[in-house]
Amino acid sequence: MPAPLLQLRDIALTFGGTPLLERAELSVSAGDRICLVGRNGSGKSTLLKMAAGLVEPDRGGIFRQPGASLRYLPQEPDFGGFDTTLDYVEAGLGPHDDRHAARYLLEQLGLTGGESTAHLSGGEARRASLARALAPSPDILLLDEPTNHLDVTTIEWLERELDERRAAIVMISHDRRFLSNLSRATVWLDRGVTRRLDRGFTDFEDWRDTVLAEEERDRHKLDRKIAAEEDWIRYGVTARRKRNMRRVAELAALRDRRRTGQRVQGAVTITASAAEPSGVLVIEAKAIGKAYDGRDIVRDFSTRIERADRVGIIGPNGCGKTTLISMLTGALKPDSGTVRLGANVEVAALDQHRDSLDPATTVADALTGGRGDTVAVNGKPRHVVGYMRDFLFSPEQARTPLGKLSGGERGRLMLAQVLAHPSNLLVLDEPTNDLDMETLDVLEDMLADYPGTILLISHDRDFLDRLVNSTIAPDGKGRWIEYAGGYSDMLSQRGGDLTREARKDAGRNDLAEEPKRETAPAASQPRARMTFKDKHALETLPATIATLQQRAKTLQDTLADPDLYARDRDGFEAATAELGKVHDEIAEAEDRWLALEMQREALERT
């Protein structure tokens, strides 16, 4: 077994008198792909910060292989002291790192490098911090929620990029498909202790359920043993006093085991307040359109949404998802076409911008509106503390300012706010951000049982596949198409991914989705130029074409043998199929080279 590049042993840490980590372990060897999973607040991010050297444990040892380079992606990067995203990314490079990698990765992630760090959206900040972590090509990558605020096309690019790298990776994410596609081992942090499964996330949940079931059986056996001992104490004979005292001591030890053995934290209880049912027709849109600054955001889109439909809206950031959903719900008037809402439609909407929460407001006041200490849920008053418990808030947090909450706690709070309002049409904009997987499971179950209609914007592919029965996706130049089924069904019907046309159209002109942001002067509008990737392709494609042509000639020579078909029919058919494939690759490479050469000449003329 190879020596670890990074190892944390018997880690313990206490916050505010409460143990957070007690016997945590983490071992990372070259080439590892480890997902670190656990509930919100279990200490995953803290353990990753310890691995990165940012937090010291109360007890335990941390070993890092001398000479091994390490990069850490935090949930909330600090851009202080950097004017532009390029400055920020380049500051993470070492003296011997490739300086072109910073610009290349920024381009791949949809940034110019000239964006002002003072005016970044959540998605831009996440992409810049990813570029900074990836640019040095470190030996160890520690990634804390790398997919947060990313659109699905960027998530899929990131999956491909990480899969091709040689670095050992430890990742925390709530995106099941991301973890399933990348991980080869799973470390479960639960009640301060880590357990390791040498298989990827796909096998984790079944394994976890088995472990928890065994724990419950052991606890049940312990309870029965304690009951038997207590019965003996009350009714047993009193002879042989020394032996009796031993059994009394053993009973005390059993009770101590039960008292100190932690139970799994309770599950979120999510209930949506239901209004009276709407009519069969909920939304009817006919040929609606919207444009900003001469650019079509939505063009000639029609749909009919009926009661109990679950509709997913997906696409790259900036393509107009929020604009479309605002028009469909009547919050934004279309430039052309008509939108008609059905009878008795009651809307409850979850905004993705959690920064809109007043950081000085307390949890209780956010839920009650500052009026009393009760919340109306399904038409009945509930004490705010009891309602908070449903969403895993402790009574002590009732007076906690919202600015002190974690990302997951803010997400649960906004769900609690929205779901307390009676509705028959739920509009959810990125509801899965920052939620742990157990909470996602409960949310998914609640939405599946919700009697009304759901409009859902999400980049969580697994969540969409499990929940929606139709998907609306952009097709470029303001066109939107509705597909039957979830995200995977949409891809199979579309015959390609979302980058085909829509990614080129996604920009910052969609005022309803993302306001224009200031960029650093001069660097904000760089002169047109070829990307690093295109330059490299232009230089290497001729050699690639020559290699393919030589391979085609070899195959043609093989097929020229008149006896090949009679002697080796399978070999003949395999060579024929491969020759066709090679000819297609030659044509594709030649077309690509020609397009790049024309682009180079045009840029030289300008």
Q: Which residues pair with 27 in a beta bridge?
A: 7
pLDDT of residue 521: 41
Task: Please check the confidence at residue 524 and state whether its pLDDT lies above 60.
Answer: no
- Provide the token pair at 275: 């209004």
Over range 308-330, report the average pLDDT: 92
- Backbone φ, ψ for residue 303 (5° rounding): -160, 160
- CA distances to 119, 255, 262 from 221, rounded to whole Å, are 58, 13, 16
Q: Which string of DSSP letters, residue by residue, matches 527-562? A: PP---HHHHHHHHHHHHHHHHHHHHHHHHHHHHT-T
pLDDT of residue 510: 39
Over range 83-102, report the average pLDDT: 94
Over range 499-509, report the average pLDDT: 49
Cα separation, 479 vs 377, whole angstroms = 40
Cα separation, 347 vs 160, whole angstroms = 39
CB atoms within 10 A of CB 148: 21
Over range 44-65, report the average pLDDT: 95
Axis crossing angle, helix 241-260 with helix 204-235, rounded to the nearest 10? 150
Over range 184-207, report the average pLDDT: 94
Question: 31 falls in which pLDDT band (50, 70, 90)?
Answer: very high
Axis crossing angle, helix 437-449 with helix 407-419, rounded to the nearest 10? 10
pLDDT of residue 55: 94
Over range 139-155, report the average pLDDT: 93
Structural Rg of the chain based on CA atoms: 29
pLDDT of residue 146: 95
pLDDT of residue 517: 40
More confident residue, 595 or 354: 595
pLDDT of residue 255: 59
Task: Please check the confidence at residue 270 and state whether its pLDDT lies above 90.
Answer: no
Q: Which long-range contacts (CB under 8 A, 24 or more apart) does 547-552 make?
A: 548/582, 548/585, 548/586, 548/589, 549/586, 551/582, 552/579, 552/582, 552/583, 552/586
- Angle of CA points 82, 87, 93, to nearest 5°: 120
Mapped onto helix, strand or coil, the DSSP state of residue 429 is strand
Q: Tell me which DSSP letter residue 202 carries.
A: G
Cα separation, 311 vs 472, whole angstroms = 7
Question: 577 falls in which pLDDT band (50, 70, 90)?
Answer: confident
pLDDT of residue 251: 57
Cα separation, 203 vs 28, whole angstroms = 20
- CA distances to 552, 572, 591 from 581, rounded to whole Å, are 9, 14, 15
pLDDT of residue 563: 79
What predicted TM-score, i.e. pTM, was given to this entire model? 0.71
Cα separation, 388 vs 268, whole angstroms = 10
Lowest-pLDDT range of 111-115, 142-146, 174-178, 536-540: 536-540
Question: Which one-letter amino acid corresponds to residue 212?
Answer: L
pLDDT of residue 267: 61
Lowest-pLDDT range of 22-26, 310-314, 576-580: 576-580
Taking only the tens place, the pLDDT of each residue in 211-269 is 888 877 777 676 676 666 666 665 554 544 444 656 566 656 655 655 555 544 556 67
Closest CA to 8 of 41, 34, 39: 34
**Quick one: 527 exposed, middle or buried, by C-beta within 10 A (0-12, 13-18, 19+)?**
exposed
Q: What is the mean pLDDT of the chain?
A: 84
pLDDT of residue 185: 97
Task: Please check the confidence at residue 187 and state whether its pLDDT lies above 60.
Answer: yes
Lowest-pLDDT range of 32-46, 135-149, 520-534, 572-586: 520-534
Task: Please check the confidence at residue 469 and state whether its pLDDT lies above 70.
Answer: yes
Over range 151-170, report the average pLDDT: 94
* Percentage of the chain modeled with pLDDT above 90: 46
